[in-house]
Structure formats: structure tokens, C-alpha cells
Amino acid sequence: MSKIRITLIDGSEREVEKGLSLGEIAKKINISLAKEAIAGKVNEIKKDLNFKVNENSKIEILTFSSEEGKEIFHHSTSHVMAFAVKELFPGVKFAIGPAIKDGFYYDFDVEKPFTPEDLKLIEQKMKEIIKKDFPFKRIEISKEEALNFFQERKEIYKIELLKEITDQYITLYQVGNFIDLCRGPHLPSTGKIKAFKLLSVAGAYWRGSEKNKMLQRIYGISFDQTSKLEDYLRLIEEAKRRDHRKLGLDLGIFSMHDEGVGFPFFHPKGMVLRNILEDYWRKEHQKSGYWEVKTPIILSKSLWIQSGHWDHYKENMYFTKIDEEDYAIKPMNCPGGILVYKCNLHSYRELPLRMAELGLVHRHELSGVLHGLFRVRCFTQDDAHIFMTPEQIKEEIKGVINLTDRIYRTFGFSYRVELSTKPENAMGSEEIWEKATKSLEEALKEKEISYKVNQGEGAFYGPKIDFHLNDCLGRSWQCGTIQLDFIMPEKFDLFYISKIGEKERPVMIHRTILGSLERFIGILIENYAGAFPLWISPVQVKLLPIADRHLEYGKKIGKKLEENNIRVEIEEINEKIGAKIRKAELEKIPYMLIFGDKEVAEGLVSIRKRGKGDLGSTRLEQFIEDIKGEIEKQSIF
């Protein structure tokens, strides 16, 4: 029997018999690898485990621990779900059923939407299918045969998909008696799916377009081990426990009301938090050479026509009338900033001119997208507009990246970066867009930051870099954005006087770092589960007297703490110390100071740290010194 050479991912080579399947090769490499094998890659192309290798190749065996393996695993589970749905609801038509970041979904066209009870039935059926360990069979047929096959079954969505495939041969996959159009690869058999759960049903448009029919989408997740499913479900529970909408209300940070849907109300504790963030933000921006401005919320329609918002952003804007004249509530801060720039004649010596604004903008978002502080109809952008010469672009962008990085780190966030290019409704020439996009790319490359490109997702006036924060549960949130703009300066005829005394056109950067103060506060609440780091905690210290007669001492030390700019509250409720502690713990206050006869007599305080417990007693002066140091450090623990 002839032999072939295979190269493994670690670079090692070995000789095997020609015509072995990937699964058999896996067994030769390592028996436990063969057990875990999901599919494989031959010369970078994903293949089923029963794919026979007939020539020298680079081989990789995929398991659940790789992203690609996981994806195949989820995708196969979606086929199992579709099979179950076919068994239980014979009339359904099948759309698409891909793997997604967390699990998979399948879109079905059904007469009646699925109910939660239906999900249980489907799960039950899936269990049966998995138990029977059906093999996934790959079928290769001509495009014409495939068309006939799906036409007979009136699978209109599959036919639509098929028509777009230009390959001569089409692959189908069969599990039991469910045959689906699919590129594969798949698990060898359904028995590999050790744990799965159907999570939710939701309406979803065919091909994501509002113009198309709404289908029923079932979301699910699956794992190769039961314990992983349990971990995942725990994570979902944990996320629910941290929900900023609930915590925000409980901790007195903000509230929402029917009287102003999408417009958050900030409560006293929330304002403390917000003001701390703003103070910190201002300090950082002063250090980085920014000036701060404030521009009005309502501005004349003519300004929005000139800026292009009237043509490109009207759907999202609110309007009003003043003295019979049309006005708009600002959805962005840039036109206001531009008017400030235009007040003076600017020399090249002033550039780059960095103008920051904590600007309150209003945007009409569709009612269905509103979500706590994460998605609102009015929010405060930590905006800035930088006016500069074309030569300064790259350095300025790098400067913004540095500032962003520093601010995110302060809160303990890592992040990833995306670059969005020219959208369909863009203003300005192809050439300008190309130049702008290139500057952003170059800055990222020089900073050695890896990024993902989103084709066609830029703003209408320019390409952008987006920053996505990762929180402690592994979720990500869009916050910062850097948008390069050659168009507004043109529209508003901005200029500066160059070295040789001529008028030159500046370039603009629009940028945010926190993104929206409101959203950022929501993220902080969830990331810290409401237990804020000391330096941003609305209340830093709670004073807990053992008995009523110690209240007076408490007021004295409260005053001393206040004199040292420490945010303090005293507990005056008539309760036992255990109850007072419990209350303070639930309020997630970082430090509790407890004092009774002993402390009053000796001028001490007993320190209790949130989540940690009793730290013993110390002199008040010592505590003040320590806590001031800790606040100064902006420690995130």
C-alpha cells in the first residue's frame, strides 16, 4: 500500500497509508484526540472526519477547544434541531441555521409562532435524535438535481439560496430523514452532542431585511460536556444578577419612566458617580491638550441642512418650532463645535485645536431597541472635535488612541478595535474616502493594534475606528469611536491661515472615548455588579454605631471624613449591628466603620471591608490616611 506524508499543525511530519480518513489519522496521532475529534482541516480546508486523504497534505484535527471546532459543533446541533422541528411540525419551511458566537440558531417559516412549550417538545425530540446517534451524511449532487430536490419539497428559501450558488456541485447533509443544503463539514454523528439547550424564540426577518417575511428563530447552545453547559447557564444567571436596570434602581443610580420613554432620570447617587466620571474625564483631557466647550441643544434647521444631517440623519432627529422658525434638537455635537471654530480666524500655529464637549444629544431610536442605559433616546457624548492640518492626522489619531487606552485601563477594561469603511449613503468623493481610511489604517498599524474591518459601516461623513470594551463576563460593548472627516470642513468653509499667509482647509476628527456617559455608567454597573471601586463609589464609607448612644461619636467622625473629601453616610436606624452591616453590604458600600463603647473610649474605629469582613480596629486618622491613598490610586479592586 502506498504511503503519503502529512504535516501536522505543530510542524511535525509523519507517514501514513494513502486513503485513510481524517478520523483514522486522528487515531494514529493520539487516541484521546480521536475521541474529541469533531472534524478536520486538510490544507486549510475544513473536511468531515470520514474524508479520505489521498495525497501529501497539511492536516489539522479540530476539537471543541478550537473556535472552528466549536462552530462546526454548534452548526451540527442546529441541523439536529431542524430535524426535530421537521418531525414535530411537518409543514415548516427551512431558512438558514448557522453557528453564531454563542451557539446557533435556525430560522423557520411556520404557520404559528413557537411557544416555550414547543421548545420543550423540540428539546425532547432532539434528545431522542442524539441518543439514536444518527450519522451526518454528505451528499454531493449537481445544482440542477438540488434545485429539483428542493422544488419538490417547496423549500422556497433553500431555492433562493441555491440560485446564488455558482458552484457546479452542491453539497447536502443528511441526518435521519432531514436533508439540508449545507457546505459542512459536520460532526460524524449526533451522539457527539453531549449537552445542549434551546434558549429562546424570536422573530427574525428573512435575510435581515424589514421588507421580508418575519420568520421564527430558535436560539440554542451546545457543548461536548455537560459541565460546560452548566457553566454557561451560570454565566447567563450571573449576567441577569448584574443587570444594570435592576441594580441601577436598587442602588439609587437612575430610573426610567413611562413619562419619558428612553430618557433616563439620574438620582442623587447616580449624579455623584456621573460627576466623578466627568471630573476624571476633564482632568485627563486637560492633560492631553483639549479645551472644553458647551454648545446649545436646539439649533436652527438651516444649520442641519448645511451639515448634511437633514438629508442623512433626519429619521433619527427631533424637531421643534421657535417663533415660527424650524429648529432641530441636536443628534450630534459637531455643527455646534464648528460654529465655535468659525468665530475666530485660526493660525496654523493653533493647530491641532482640540475642542472637547460633554454634549447632550437626542436621537429618535426605534422603540424596540431601547434598553436601560445601554440604548436610550438622549445621552451625553464625551465628544471632541479636533481641527488640524492634513499632515497632523496620523499623530492626532495616535494621540486619541493613547488617551483612550489610558482611560479604559483605569477602569480595568481590555478592548478590541474595528475599522468601518465607506457606507452607501456617504457624502464626498471616493478619493477623499480612500485617503481618510488609509490614515486610520496607518495609525492603527503604527500603534501595532490588530483590528477587524467592517466594510461599508462608516458614518456618512467619514470612516471610523470603533473601540469595543470587554467586560468581566466576556461581553463586549461599543464605546469609543474615532471618525475622520474631510467633508464638514468643506461644507462649512472652515479654514486656517497657513505659514505663507494663505487660507487652507483643516481636517476634522470627531471622537468619543466613553462613548455615552449613560451607557458607560451602565457598563460600569454590570462590570462591577454594582460594587464600584472605592474611588467612584457614590458612598465610600458607612458609619455603623453599635447602639444609639454611639451616634454622637459617629457624627463627629463623619464630619472629619467629610473634611477630608470622603463620601460618607451614617446609619441611624434602630437595629442590631448585624442588620446594619447587612444593609450596608447590600448597598455595596466599600468600607464600613463600626464603633461601640470600646472605640468611643479609645478614639478608634473598627473597619469592615465590603465582601471581605472585619479588618480589625485602628485610629481614625490612620484610616483616613489609608483610604485617601487608596482613592488617589484609583484602584479597581
Partner RNA sequence: GCCGGCGUAGCUCAAUCGGCAGAGCAACGGAAUCGUAAUCCGUAGGUUGUCUGUUCAACUCAGAUCGCCGGCUCCA
Nearer to RNA, 113 or 629 (CB): 113
Residue 229 CA from chain centroid, whole number: 22
Orientation of helix 268-287 relative to helix 393-410, angle to 10°: 140
State yes or no: is 464 an active-site residue: yes
Residue 587 Cβ, how far from RNA at the closest point, in Å?
A: 10
Q: Are strands 346-347 and 353-362 parallel, antiparallel or unpaired?
A: unpaired
Would you call 343 a catalytic residue per the annotation?
Answer: no
Q: Is 78 in the site for RNA (CB under 7 A)?
A: no
Burial (CB < 10 A; 0-12, 13-18, 19+), residue 463, is: buried
DSSP annotation of 51: P
72 binds RNA (CB under 7 A): no
202 scored as a contact of RNA (CB under 7 A): yes
Binding residues among 523-552 for RNA as defined by CB under 7 A: 546-549
Cβ atoms of 346 and 387 closer than 8 Å? yes
Binding to RNA (CB under 7 A) within 494-513 occurs at 512
SS3 content of the chain, % helix, strand, coil (to 5): 40, 30, 30
Which residue lies nearer to RNA by CB, 175 or 546? 546
- Contacting RNA (CB under 7 A), which of 80, 92, 198, 201? 201
Site residues for RNA, window 207-246 (CB under 7 A)? Answer: 208-210, 214, 216-217, 245-246
DSSP conformation letters of 342-378:
HTS-EEGGG-SEEEEEEEEEE----GGG-BTTTB-SE
Q: Which range binds RNA by CB under 7 A, 30-38, 164-172, 339-347, 589-597?
A: 589-597
**Does 334 qualify as catalytic in the annotation?**
yes
- Smaller CB distance to RNA: residue 129 or 594? 594
The reply on whether position 372 binds RNA by CB under 7 A is yes
* 182 annotated active-site: no
Nearer to RNA, 112 or 499 (CB): 112
Point out which span in 37-45, 119-127, 198-206, 288-296 binds RNA (CB under 7 A): 198-206
Q: Within 104-133, which residues bind RNA (CB under 7 A)?
A: 113, 115
CA–CA gap between residue 182 and residue 465 (Å, rounded): 35
Binding mask 261-280 for RNA (x = CB under 7 A): xx------------------
CA distances from 323 to 207, 295, 300, 326, 329 (A): 46, 21, 11, 8, 16
What is the distance between the alpha carbons of residues 492 and 341, in angstroms, rounded to a whole number?
10
200 contacts RNA (rule: CB under 7 A): yes
Cell of 347: 493660525
Residues in the chain: 637
Total Cβ atoms within 10 A of residue 137: 15
Per the CB < 8 A criterion, the answer to whether 475 and 239 are in contact is: yes
Catalytic residue among 464, 511, 519, 588: 464
Which residues partner with 507 through β-bridges?
388
Of 95, 99, 114, 105, the closest CA to residue 38 belongs to: 99
Supply φ then ψ for residue 383, to 5 degrees: -85, 160
Helical pair 430-446 and 393-410, crossing angle rounded to 10 deg: 50
Range 446-465, binding RNA (CB under 7 A)? 457, 459
- Select 318 or 495, whichever has its Cβ closest to RNA: 318
Query: Among 180, 224, 466, 526, which residue interacts with RNA (rule: CB under 7 A)?
Result: 466
Q: Which of 66, 306, 478, 618 binds RNA (CB under 7 A)?
A: 478
Tell which one of 19, 98, 203, 603 touches RNA (CB under 7 A): 203
124 catalytic per annotation = no
Contact between 204 and RNA by CB under 7 A: the answer reads: yes
And the C-alpha cell for 503? Answer: 487660507
- Under rule CB under 7 A, which residues in 80-99 are in contact with RNA? none
Instruction: Please tell me whether residue 479 binds RNA under the rule CB under 7 A.
Output: yes
Instruction: Say how far residue 422 (Cα) sits from the centre of its chain.
Output: 22
- Of the ranges 345-353, 390-398, 433-441, 476-484, which one interacts with RNA (CB under 7 A)? 476-484
Which part of the chain contacts RNA (CB under 7 A), choosing from 149-157, 189-197, 393-401, 592-600?
Answer: 592-600
Residue 126, CA distances (Å) to 39, 78, 490 in order? 21, 10, 61
Instruction: Map residues 348-367 to x or -, x wherever contact with RNA holds by CB under 7 A.
Output: ---------------x-xxx
- CA 88 – CA 82 distance, rounded (Å): 10
* Of residues 563-582, those binding RNA (CB under 7 A): 573-579, 581-582
Candidates 118, 180, 382, 383; catalytic one: 383
When asked if residue 379 is in the footprint of RNA (CB under 7 A), the reply is yes
Q: Distance of CA 38 to CAs 134, 510, 589, Å?
A: 15, 47, 48
Residues with a known catalytic role: 334, 363, 381, 383, 385, 464, 510
